[in-house]
Chains A and B, each alone.
Chain A
Amino acid sequence: MAAIVPDTLQGALIVSVIDFFLSFLIISGIGVVLSFFPLLNRVAKFINAPKAAPAPKSKAAPVARKPAAGAASDDIAAIAAAVFVAMDGAPYRIINIEPSRSRSAWVVGGRIAQHSSHNRSR
C-alpha cells in the first residue's frame, strides 16, 4: 500500500493532527457504546423474568380462607368445636377454651385413650 501522506515535516504534522483527533473521536465512540452496556442487564432481566401463570379456565376449587384479621381466637375455637359436634354428632360439650400448650404426643394419646375407654362401640 502506498503512503498517502508526503514524507515531509508538513506531512508529519498532518498525520499527527488527523491521528490525534480521530483517536479522540473513535475512543469517544467506544465510550458511547459502553454507556449502553447496562441495557444488557435490563434485557437479560426481562428475558429471565418468570412468566405470569395463565388464568384457569375451569372453576377454581374452594380454598380455605384466612380468618378475618379482627376475629378472636377463642371465637374461632368455639365455632370450630360447634361445627365438629354438629357434623360428627359426637356427645361432646365445650367446657373450656384455652391457648394450646405444647404437650407430649404420649400424654395426648394417653388422655384420649382414657376419655374414650368407656365409649360404646358404634
Chain B
Amino acid sequence: MFDQILTFLQALLAQTGAVNFSFGNLLMIIIGIVMIYLAIAKHYEPLLLIGIGFSCIVANVPGPPDVPGGPAISALLYSVKDGGLFHYAYMGVEKLIIPPLIFLGVGAMTDFGPMIANPKLVILGAGAHLGIFVALILAKVLGFTLSEAGAIGLIGGADGPMAIFVAVKLAPHLLGPISVAAYSYMALMPMIQPPIMHMLTTKAERDISMSDVRKVSKLEKIAFPLVIAIIVNLFFPPVAPLITMLMLGNLLKEVGVTDRLSKTAAGGLMNIIIIILTVAIGSTMSAEKFLTVQTLEIVGLGLLAFLFGTGSGVVTAKIMNLFLKVKINPLIGSAGIASVPIAARVSHLVAFRANPKNLLIYHAMGPNLAGVFGTAISGGILLALLGAN
C-alpha cells in the first residue's frame, strides 16, 4: 500500500513543473526579479521592464512536458504556442505590425521642436551610432553571417522597433535575443551610459550651460513631418514604413484638429502595444532558449554597441566644440544614440548632478530625436546593402 501511495505521489509530482526546474530557470527568474526591482525602486523604464521581467519569470517556471517525454514547457509558453493569446501577440512583432504602430504612437507623443530649433545638433544623431558598426564587425569576427551581424549591430541604434524591423528582414531567427537585448539595454541606459559619459568629459565640460534656443512656430512643426516623410520615402524606402508612421503620428499631434486621434495613438493604442510587446519579448527569455552561447554573444555585443555609441556621441560633440563659437555641453552627444526620451533624460541628469543649475533636457532632445533618424538611415543602408527583401 505504501508503495502504491508513493507511486501515485511520484506520478502527481511528474505532472508539476518542480521536477523540471533547472539552474538556468533559477538564473533567469533572478534576472526577471532584478528587472522588476529596477523598474520599481530605481524607476528605470517601468513601462518596459515590468512586462519583460514578469514574463521572463513566468516563462522560466516549468510545467509538465507538452508531450510525454518532451521538454518541460511553462504556462506562459502554452499561451505562446499556436493558437494561444501571445502567439498572436508575437505574430504582431514577427509580421511587422507592431513596430509601425509603436512609431505612430511615438510620433504622436513627440515634440520635434528641439530638433528643428537647433539643426546643427542633428549631426550627433549620426555620431552616436559608431556602436552599430563596432558590434557588426565583432559579430562577424565571432562567426555570424553578415546579415546576422547587421541585425545584431542595429541593437546599438537603441531603437527597439527599428531593431525588430531590421532583424525580421535580415535574421528572423535571431528576433528573440535581439529584441530582448535592445529593449533591456534601452531600459538600463541610466546604468550603462553615465560611467562612459564621466570617463570622456572633464568637470568643466559637464558644467557648460547652453542658452535658450529659438521658439519653433506651429507652421514649422506641421511642415516637418511632411518634409521628412517625403525625404525618407524618396531616399530610404526600406525603412519608410516606420518613419512614415512616426511622421503621421506627429502630424496628428501638431495640426491641432485631430486631438482625438493623436490622444488615441499616444495613449490607449500605445499602452496596448506596450503590454503585448513586453510580454511577447519576455516570453522568449526561457532559459533553454536564452542561456545559449549564441544568445549570450548577442547580448554581449549589444552591450558593447551601447557603450561605443554613447562614447562616440560624446566624442562627436567634443569635436564639434572645436569648430563652434558657442560651445555645446558634450553630455548631450550621448543622447544621439536614440532611445527617445531615455537617453536625453540621462544626459540631463548627468549634467544636473554636475551642476544643479544646468538644465539640458530640451537641448538633449534635439540629438535624441535626430538619433531616431540616424538609426533609421543606418538600418536603411544596411537593408539595402545586405539584400533584404
Is the beta-carbon distance between A7 and B387 smaller than 8 angstroms? no
Note all chain B residues with C-beta closer than 8 A to A94. none
26 contacts between A and B (CB under 8 A): A4-B385, A5-B386, A15-B136, A15-B386, A16-B133, A16-B136, A17-B133, A23-B377, A24-B126, A24-B127, A27-B122, A27-B374, A27-B377, A30-B122, A30-B231, A30-B370, A31-B119, A32-B119, A33-B227, A33-B231, A35-B120, A37-B116, A37-B119, A37-B220, A41-B219, A44-B219
Cβ of B389 under 8 Å from chain A: yes
Is the beta-carbon distance between A20 and B220 smaller than 8 angstroms? no
List the 8 closest A-B pairs by CB distance, nearest first.
A3-B387, A16-B133, A34-B119, A12-B140, A31-B122, A31-B119, A27-B126, A23-B126
Is the beta-carbon distance between B127 and A22 smaller than 8 angstroms? no
Interface residues of B (CB under 8 A from A): 115-116, 119-120, 122-123, 125-127, 129-130, 132-133, 136-137, 139-141, 145-147, 149-150, 214, 216-217, 219-220, 223-224, 227-228, 231, 235, 370, 373-374, 377-378, 381-382, 385-389
Note all chain A residues with C-beta closer than 8 A to B145. 7
Q: What class of interface size applies to chain A in its complex with B?
A: 35 or more
Cβ of A72 under 8 Å from chain B: no
Cβ of A107 under 8 Å from chain B: no
Of A7, A16, A31, A40, the most chain B CB neighbours within 10 A belong to: A16
A interface secondary structure, majority: helix
Of A5, A20, A30, A33, the most chain B CB neighbours within 10 A belong to: A30
Is the beta-carbon distance between B146 and A27 smaller than 8 angstroms? no
A3 CA / B171 CA spacing, docked (Å): 13
Given contacts A15-B146, A22-B381, A23-B126, contact A9 B137 (CB under 8 A): yes
Is the beta-carbon distance between B386 and A19 smaller than 8 angstroms? no
In the complex, how many angstroms separate the beta carbon of A15 from the nearest chain B beta carbon? 5
CB contacts under 8 Å to B, within A41-87, are 41, 44
Note all chain A residues with C-beta closer than 8 A to B130. 20
Cβ of A2 under 8 Å from chain B: yes
Given contacts A7-B146, A34-B122, contact A12 B387 (CB under 8 A): no
Further contacts, 19 of them, CB under 8 A, given A12-B136, A26-B235:
A8-B140, A8-B146, A11-B140, A13-B137, A15-B146, A15-B150, A17-B133, A20-B133, A23-B378, A23-B381, A24-B123, A26-B377, A27-B125, A27-B373, A30-B122, A31-B122, A34-B119, A37-B116, A40-B220
Interface residues of A (CB under 8 A from B): 1-9, 11-13, 15-20, 22-24, 26-28, 30-35, 37-38, 40-41, 44
In the complex, how many angstroms separate the beta carbon of B126 from the nearest chain A beta carbon? 4
Which one of A12, A28, A33 lies within 8 Å of B146 (CB-CB)? A12
In the complex, how many angstroms separate the beta carbon of B290 from the nearest chain A beta carbon? 26
A101 CA / B255 CA spacing, docked (Å): 56
A5 CA / B147 CA spacing, docked (Å): 10
A41 CA / B216 CA spacing, docked (Å): 9
Beta-carbon nearest neighbor of A21 in chain B? B126
Given contacts A1-B389, A30-B228, A34-B122, contact A19 B116 (CB under 8 A): no
Which one of B115, B214, B381, B385 lies within 8 Å of A34 (CB-CB)? B115
Beta-carbon nearest neighbor of A26 in chain B? B377
Note all chain A residues with C-beta closer than 8 A to B119. 31-32, 34-35, 37
A30 CA / B118 CA spacing, docked (Å): 12
A40 CA / B226 CA spacing, docked (Å): 13
Is the beta-carbon distance between A3 and B381 smaller than 8 angstroms? no
Beta-carbon nearest neighbor of A43 in chain B? B219
